[in-house]
Amino acid sequence: MAEDVVQASSPLDDRAQVRIFTLADYVAEEPSGKLYISGAGLEWTGVPARLEGDGTNQLISFYLIIRLAFPKASARERHDVEVRVVNRDGSPAGPDSLLKAELQFDLDHVPEDFSEVSGNLPVQITNYPISAEPNSVIFLNLLVDEVPVSRLPIELVEDA
């Protein structure tokens, strides 16, 4: 007795998949899409912060690395990516967004049987003003198409 089995779609097929969301000392990207990452943190990362003479604080310099994959069911030609800096209670800890970018895909030139498309965003951040003190924790909230998909805790360490 064979019955047709209706398979429910996975909720993961309906949103971006985070492959990499981390900070590093340096990153290089080849035209092939390969990333060479040096000094990356995996979960909890310390980032040097500096207290300026006028009372403002800054994240000095680091690379933000994001790699996102989009399953066939949710892949579009354009996806908006945003990273917001917030403190523990979720209120902004910096001006606007740390990053606003767009991932673009030419879906007319992918094989018909593709399962996902993916893209990288390696970005150098320098002298980003923050309202948090050194030796505290902030969070980088990753949003894709205005949907929260990941949160990265960052420990601010005082610049020597």
Q: Are 103 and 68 in contact (CB under 8 A)?
A: yes
CA atoms within 13 A on the CB side of 105: 22
Would you say residue 6 has pLDDT above 60? no
Q: What is the pLDDT of residues 90-105, one digit of tens each?
A: 999 988 899 999 999 9
First to last CA, the chain: 73
Reported pTM? 0.84
Angle made by CA atoms 59, 63, 65, in degrees to the nearest 5:
130
CA dihedral 138, 139, 140, 141 (to 10 degrees): -140
Please state which CATH number belongs to domain 13-158.
2.60.40
Angle made by CA atoms 63, 69, 75, in degrees to the nearest 5:
130
Domain residue extents for the chain? 13-158
CA dihedral 154, 68, 90, 56 (to 10 degrees): 50
According to the model, what pLDDT value does residue 42 have? 57
**Alpha-carbon 20 to chain mean position:** 7
Three-state secondary structure of 50-118: EECCCCCEEEEEEEEEEEEEEECCCCCCEEEEEEEEECCCCCECCCCCCEEEEEECCHHHCCCCCCEEE
The conformation of residue 14, written as its DSSP 8-state character, comes to G
Looking at residues 86-91, what average pLDDT do you find? 92
According to the model, what pLDDT value does residue 92 have? 95
